[in-house]
């Protein structure tokens, strides 16, 4: 499959799309080149150019042409997209919303699909910082001993700790041994304390001794809280993000936070340039009849964009046909 990626060289982000996809195609073993002109000898011509700049009635296309769709904010641009698809080209939007809008405006559903854009993977989700700013006592009045048990049930890839207060050394050593990152200050330092408080995602306090003064500072800083609903915590007139009484309550809160954070991790791991390129390849193989519909279904359930946003009607027919065949065999 010879793939001609068409774009005008510039410092704009669209050129980054074109260059990155071309590089990925070459890495994957395809004969791909970056150019500014349509190549009639290529198997696929793909335009990386926003339709408000690069497309017109004179744009050369055929039924093996695809083009990026973005910046659709005028009737003229919708007409340009209609024109290109009616001449055989296939438009690839960046979102389902845009695809659906274009279909509602009269663009043929079988000539328009979407592939979500890629993230560079250089900026990774930061860990959620849980903060404690009190000293410990030998009678465990702060219920600090619960933290080790809690850490056995949560993910060190998601959470880190920032702690200021005397007596935490043994606990810090134990949870660091579990793989958790801990920023620990055994002595109180007002300057460091103020900076630490502003760095927290959640202020934590598990004791039942009327309240934590650190909670007041956390509320002043706008930091969320995982604390016991007691004493002056209740009188502050500020909703406690996660009121907790038991280890089970704390774990419920942390698992909820963990799942939200893991959605960001899954996003980084799936919205990649390689996956973005592979989704284009699936569409191009379909257009060139290089693979059967059954083979193209192999990634079903992994994502909804790409080939699956293009063949939704075909899939319905395919599933219906399979159901009829199954019923015939059973009878």
Domain ranges of the chain: 2-118+271-330, 128-268
pLDDT in tens, 63-107: 999 999 988 888 988 999 999 999 999 999 999 999 999 999 999
Element (H, E) at 227: strand 224-227
Q: E strand or H helix at 161, and its extent?
A: strand 159-164
Strands 2-6 and 44-47: parallel
The pLDDT confidence band at residue 208, using thresholds 50, 70 and 90, is confident
Whole-number percent of the chain with pLDDT over 70 = 89
Name the CATH code of domain 2-118+271-330 (choices 1.20.1440, 3.30.70, 1.10.3470, 3.40.50).
Answer: 3.40.50
pLDDT band, residue 315 (cuts 50/70/90): very low
Please name which of 13, 16, 18, 17 lies closest in space to residue 3, comparing C-alpha atoms: 18
Structurally, what CATH architecture does the domain formed by 128-268 represent? 3-Layer(aba) Sandwich (3.40)
Distance, in Å, from the CA atom of 307 to the CA atom of 142, rounded to the nearest integer, reads: 55
Tell me the per-residue pLDDT of 220-263, one tens digit each, with 9 for 90 and over: 999 999 999 988 899 988 889 999 999 999 999 999 999 999 99
| Global confidence as pTM | 0.80
Query: Can 2-118+271-330 and 128-268 be said to share one CATH topology?
Result: yes
User: Count of alpha carbons within 13 Å of 148, Cβ hemisphere only?
Assistant: 10
pLDDT the model gives residue 317: 43
pLDDT exceeds 90 at position 198 = yes
**What pLDDT, on a 0 to 100 scale, did the predictor assign at position 210?**
83
pLDDT score at 301: 86
DSSP H or E segment with residue 159: strand 159-164
């Amino acid at each position: 499959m010879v793939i001609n990626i068409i774009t005008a060289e510039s410092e704009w982000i669209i050129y980054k799309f074109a260059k990155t996809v071309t590089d990925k195609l070459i890495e994957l073993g395809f004969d791909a080149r970056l150019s500014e002109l349509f190549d009639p000898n290529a198997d696929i011509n793909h335009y990386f150019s926003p339709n408000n700049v690069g497309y017109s009635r004179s744009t050369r296309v055929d039924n093996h042409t695809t083009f990026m769709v973005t910046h659709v904010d005028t009737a003229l641009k919708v007409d340009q997209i209609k024109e290109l698809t009616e001449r055989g080209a296939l438009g690839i939007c960046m979102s389902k919303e845009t695809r659906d809008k274009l279909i509602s405006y009269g663009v043929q559903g079988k000539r328009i699909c979407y592939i979500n854009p890629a993230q560079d993977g250089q900026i990774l989700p930061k860990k959620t910082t849980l903060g404690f700013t009190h000293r410990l006592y030998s009678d465990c009045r702060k219920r600090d001993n619960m933290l080790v048990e809690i850490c056995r049930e949560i993910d060190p890839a998601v959470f880190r700790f920032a702690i200021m207060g005397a007596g935490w050394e043994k606990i810090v050593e134990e949870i660091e041994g579990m793989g958790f990152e801990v920023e620990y200050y055994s002595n109180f330092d007002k300057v460091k304390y103020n900076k630490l408080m502003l760095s927290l995602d959640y202020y934590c306090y598990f004791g039942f001794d009327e309240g934590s003064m650190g909670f007041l500072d956390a509320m002043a800083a706008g930091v969320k809280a995982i604390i016991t609903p007691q004493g002056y915590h209740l009188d502050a007139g500020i909703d406690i993000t996660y009121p907790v009484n038991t280890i089970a309550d704390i774990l419920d809160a942390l698992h909820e936070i963990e799942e939200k954070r893991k959605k960001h991790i899954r996003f980084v791991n799936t919205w990649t340039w390689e996956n973005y390129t592979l989704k284009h390849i699936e569409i191009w193989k379909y257009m060139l009849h290089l693979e059967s519909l059954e083979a193209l279904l192999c990634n079903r359930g992994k994502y909804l964009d790409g080939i699956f946003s293009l063949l939704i009607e075909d899939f319905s027919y395919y599933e219906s046909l399979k159901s009829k065949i199954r019923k015939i065999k059973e009878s």
